[in-house]
């Protein structure tokens, strides 16, 4: 494990990258996201790695951005610093997963919230424990237009995404399976084994064929406007920070935002 909480494990051709800050419910710090991006770069270049699993240790996959860390990294909260910070660490790093030339499986349990929702849903496949719940409460908690990467309508459908984001509710693992947002739901105690078994099966395929297949499937979404929509929403998200309600909650800092989310990390 690195000092930023990234646990790296190898299982033959499978690389598992785990967020390892269970005491913070694996909330994403800037340092962790930088380390994860570097590990993905290394995995992309390593010919021996055929499949990547993205996981979180402890009871939760990821409770979202580490808001205390964000306060430290963006002490002034200016449009310029926020745009640069969020473009790199949220939008671009999520697109890094989308563009990864090898299959990436998200192995999720417990909370998969906000930034965790973005990361998991930019992966190719999701294996979820039965106790998983998905949420993106920031319209209500921070008064901004959802998280930075609006993958939601692409993975759950437009109407479900609207209900999910407008009201700040939760989607259970069972509901996510029914709408096609996750591939499998398994008992929590079987999660790691099920994810590894799926990765091992995929790893038996030709790496070149997998790379081209992923490229073609992603292009199917991109021809429909996926990447343009991601970029367009990111700009809208930045604009939403300028609203009076958002400015009030920004002034309150992390404590004010988390309080509105009844303890949820953003």
pLDDT of residue 253: 62
Question: Helix (H, G, I), strand (E, B), or coil: what is residue 181?
Answer: coil
| pLDDT at residue 110, as a whole number | 98
Measured between alpha carbons, how far is 48 from 67 in angstroms, rounded to an integer?
A: 36
Residue corresponding to tokens 């404590």: 255
| Number of folded domains that form the chain | 1
Asked whether the predicted pLDDT for residue 243 surpasses 70, the reply is: yes
Whether the predicted pLDDT of 1 surpasses 90? no
Query: DSSP letters of 117-149?
Result: HHHHHTSSEEEEETT-EEE-THHHHT-SSS-SS
Residue 1 lies in a domain: no
| pLDDT at residue 239, rounded to an integer | 85
- The three-state secondary structure class of 110 is coil
Residue 68 has pLDDT above 80, yes or no: no
Strand-strand pairing, 51-56 and 111-113: unpaired
Query: Does 153 fall in a domain?
Result: yes
* Of 9-18, 63-72, 199-208, 227-236, the least confident: 63-72
Judge whether 76 lies within some domain: yes
- What number of H helices and E strands is found in the chain? 13, 9
Digit-coded pLDDT (tens) for 131-185: 999 999 888 777 787 789 999 999 999 999 999 999 888 999 999 999 999 999 9
Instruction: Give the integer Cα–Cα distance in Å for 225 and 94.
Output: 17
As a whole number, mean pLDDT of residues 217-235 equals: 96
- 143 domain-assigned: yes
Of the candidates 15, 14, 28, 2, the residue with the CA atom closest to the CA atom of residue 266: 28
pTM (predicted TM-score)? 0.90
Residue 265 falls within a domain, yes or no?
Answer: no
End-to-end Cα, the chain, rounded Å: 24
pLDDT tens column, 92-111: 999 999 999 999 999 999 99
User: Does any domain span residue 217?
Assistant: yes
Q: Say if 266 falls within a structural domain.
A: no
* Percent share of the chain, pLDDT over 90: 71
Query: Could you tell me which residues are beta bridge partners of residue 126?
Result: 106
Q: Domain of residue 239: give its range.
A: 6-260
Question: Mean pLDDT for the chain?
Answer: 90
Say how far apart CA 60 and CA 235 lie, in whole Å.
30
Residue 227 belongs to some domain of the structure: yes
| CATH number of the domain that residue 189 is part of | 3.90.226.10
| 258, pLDDT greater than 60 | no
Please report the pLDDT score of residue 35 as a whole number: 96
Beta 51-56 vs 184-186: how paired, if at all?
unpaired
The pLDDT of residue 263 is 39
């Amino acid at each position: 494990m690195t000092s930023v909480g990234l646990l790296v494990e190898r299982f033959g051709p499978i690389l598992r990258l785990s967020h390892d800050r269970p005491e913070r419910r694996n909330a994403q710090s800037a340092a962790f996201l930088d380390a994860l991006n570097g590990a993905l770069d290394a995995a992309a270049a390593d010919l021996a790695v055929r499949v990547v699993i993205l996981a979180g240790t402890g009871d939760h996959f990821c409770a979202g951005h580490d808001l205390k860390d964000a306060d430290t990294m963006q002490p002034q909260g200016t449009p310029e610093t926020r745009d640069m910070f969020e473009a790199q660490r949220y939008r671009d790093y999520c697109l890094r997963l989308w563009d990864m030339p090898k299959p990436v499986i998200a192995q999720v349990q417990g909370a998969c919230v906000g930034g965790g929702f973005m990361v998991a849903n930019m992966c190719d496949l999701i294996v979820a424990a039965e106790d998983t719940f998905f949420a993106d409460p920031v319209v209500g908690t921070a008064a901004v237009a959802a998280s930075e990467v609006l993958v939601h309508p692409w993975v759950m459908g437009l109407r479900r995404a609207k209900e999910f984001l407008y009201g700040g509710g939760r989607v259970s693992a069972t509901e996510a399976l029914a709408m096609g947002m996750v591939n499998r739901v398994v008992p929590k105690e079987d999660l790691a084994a099920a994810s590894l078994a799926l990765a091992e099966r995929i790893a038996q395929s030709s790496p070149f064929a997998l790379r081209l297949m992923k490229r073609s499937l992603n292009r199917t979404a991109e021809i429909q406007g996926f990447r343009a929509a991601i970029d367009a929403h990111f700009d809208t998200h930045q604009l939403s920070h300028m609203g009076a309600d958002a400015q009030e909650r920004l002034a309150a800092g992390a404590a004010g935002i988390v309080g509105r989310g009844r303890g949820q990390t953003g």
